[in-house]
Structure 1
């Protein structure tokens, strides 16, 4: 029996996943991988409705089950309505992947309060709202997985990434705190922190910059989605409150260069 067909104590049938920011890049790759593993995937987009529907249709054409939803994860009412729609349709929700994020890079001295709060609202408050909304169903089931997508910018931020790095650092702290609160209830909370990943948004930059001298290549969304799928399944039951770096070794290569 696959991970996707083994369910929590309260439901039967395929497991159900909710993936925010699932219309492109890493989020779309995660949605495809979870669907390929047998989960019913509900992917969320804020503005890219065409892209979100295209990913859902692609999954269904490959034999999977997927639905696209439009919602702003930073809006409490929209998050509650989104989770209610999924639960009304499926009767369960087993996996949440908090991938939606915004980048608004600018030097701190030039960052307005509204710009700072805009980044934190999506990148940190958003996962708080979605996690809080799905927890009652997961607690009733006695089983759940929440995977938060952070960034290596927490550890090695570039100039202008103060707000982004702070929001992702807060997300990693949220992971650890929530893991302490619900770990005894069969719910596992972990974080994946990608390095430089080539997506539709970063293609041009990746071609211009190439490698950074560490010898590591730019990652692909699929380099991240496999780990997320593992953390979303039964085999990750002994993993809790952790952050996993997926950067091709860039972090350790940078540390080695610093010591020389």
Structure 2
């Protein structure tokens, strides 16, 4: 497959999820070779890998618990040994645990930060030496518009996503001089299948969400994937340290 990412290798975390799988397919369609990572979803990873390869792309899938430094190091070494240096990191994996503030324990807090912030640091820290050596790289963190909007029962999650934006800006300063960009894409209310299992009244939730937005439709994973695909290209080489909200105009300014 050829396209603006031809010759580049991208590692996509959380690749079996509703958002991650669409991101992976978009990058493959744009010519990237894919490393698809997941925690424990071998069947979905195999199906996604087959879908990409059957379409003419190149992809492998690897399982790892990204909360642990040893697992991240092993994953990155295995990916490098099989496909060569990673040029593009799409740090997408995360979780969305809800805990009322008064019931948020230190264990809850540590777990949500490990999943939604520390894992992103570990991956970036492991992969940036080869990007630096190549004088080219793209780091794209997947944040959330909730870092700006706030919401009850999500203090840990929102704190982690706000931390990702700070990490993005720090990496932009550190790595810009050597040709590596770092940006954060913050989705708004994006319709994914997992929503069906956590929303009691989808129609009422959608109505409330549309009242917040300028664009009167729910976001789609493809909207987010398109923004990520652009930031991964040569054309985005002068964009770094930014948070791009893909939210239909939920948060303005």
Q: Which TM-score tier does this pair reach, normalised by the shorter chain?
A: over 0.9
- Pick from 67, 81, 84 the counterpart of residue 74 of structure 2: 81
Q: Counterpart in 1 of 2:60?
A: 67
Once the two structures are superposed, residues 71-110 of structure 1 have per-residue CA deviations (whole angstroms, 9 ceiling, x without a partner) of: 1111111100110011111222100000000111111110
For the aligned residue pairs, the C-alpha RMSD in angstroms reads: 1.5
Select which of 103, 114, 138 maps to 1:145. 138
Q: Distance in 1 between matches of 2:132 and 2:22?
A: 27
Shift of 1:119: 0.5
Task: Measure, in 2, the Cα distance between the counterparts of 1:39 and 1:101.
Answer: 23
Alignment of 1:112-127 (within 5 A): 112-127=105-120
Q: Which residue of 2 aligns with 1:49?
A: 42
Shift of the alpha carbon at 1:203?
A: 3.5
Paired residue total: 245
Matched, 1:211 2:216: no
Matched, 1:244 2:244: yes
The match for 2:194 is 201
TM-score (norm 2): 0.93
1:4 aligns with: 5
The Cα of 1:249 is off from its aligned counterpart by: 1.1
Does the CA contact (< 8 Å) of 1:93 and 1:134 recur in 2? Answer: yes
Q: CA deviation at 1:226?
A: 0.5
Task: Tell me by how many angstroms 1:211 deviates.
Answer: 2.4
Corresponding position of 2:233: 233
Q: Deviations over 1:3-44 (max 9, x none)?
A: 323xxxxxxxx2100000011211111100000001000111
Aligned equivalents of 1:77, 1:180: Cα separation in 2: 27
* 1:220 aligned onto 2:220: yes
What is the Cα deviation at residue 207 of structure 1? Answer: 4.1
> CA separation in 2, counterparts of 1:195 and 1:2?
28
Counterpart mapping for 1:175-186 below 5 A: 175-186=168-179
Per-residue deviation, 1:235: 0.4
Q: Is the 8 A contact 1:45 1:71 kept in 2?
A: yes
Give the superposition deviation at 1:221.
0.6
Assess, with a 3 A threshold, how the Cα gap between structure 1 residues 80 and 48 changes in structure 2: closer, same or farther: same
Any conservation in 1 of the 2:3–2:29 contact (CA below 8 Å)? no
> Are the equivalent residues in 1 in contact too, given 2:28–2:57 (CA < 8 A)?
yes
Which ranges of structure 2 fall in alignment gaps of 5 or more residues? none
The 1-side partners of 2:193 and 2:47 are apart by 15
Quick one: which of 89, 97, 117 aligns to 1:96? 89
Q: Deviations over 1:128-159 (max 9, x none)?
A: 00000001110111100000000011011221
> TM-score with structure 1 length normalisation?
0.90
1:168-199 CA distance string (max 9 Å, x none)? 00010000001100101000000000001111
